[in-house]
Amino acid sequence: MSAPTSNAGHDEWLDALADGDGYALVCPDGHGSLPPRRVCPECGATALAEEPLAETGRVETYNVVHVAGPQFADDVPYVNAVADFGPVRLAGVLRGVEPALDAVSVGDRVAAGVEERATDGERLVAFRPAGGE
């Protein structure tokens, strides 16, 4: 692997998420999006303010990945999920559950953080079960 590329805006967002201070960019009309971003993709507003993500997110959909590219070769099988954290949804790897379709349900609550890929130690958005519906 070459040295990790620096992506201004995204790197700082991951740092914040890792510190428990995850945020979204929100326009005056309340549309959420993720950085780096200069324009609200829904309405075109340019006044974007950082707002905290909800403490926990609701799983909207998920899968169980068995075949992945080289960067996730040692991570499979894993659960991938999309969860709603208020202003935005996030995609991430759901850890702390069996990698099985019946081990998770749509509507489950999860917390978001930053963990490492098993394959190469790169940072990734990870979810953990937060309990409750």
How far apart, in whole angstroms, are the C-alpha atoms of residue 113 and residue 128? Answer: 8
Which residues would be at the binding site for other proteins (CB under 8 A)?
7, 10, 33-34, 41, 60-73, 75, 78, 80-82, 88-93, 101, 106, 122-125
Report in angstroms how near the CB of residue 55 gets to other proteins at its nearest. 18
| Residue 43 interacting entry, from Zn ion, other proteins, none, C-beta within 5 to 8 Å by type | Zn ion
Report in angstroms how near the CB of residue 45 gets to other proteins at its nearest. 16
∠ Cα 40 48 114 (to 5°): 90
Residues in the chain: 133
Residue 1 DSSP label: -
**What 3 state SS string does 78-115 have?**
EEEEEEECCCCEEEEEECCCCCCHHHCCCCCEEEEEEE
Measuring CA to CA, which residue among 121, 66, 59 is closest to residue 94?
59
- Output 28 or 121, the one with its CB closest to Zn ion: 28
- Output 46 or 71, the one with its CB closest to other proteins: 71
- Output 8 or 47, the one with its CB closest to Zn ion: 47
Which residues would be at the binding site for Zn ion (CB under 5 A)?
27, 29, 31, 40, 42-43, 45
- Output 52 or 115, the one with its CB closest to other proteins: 115
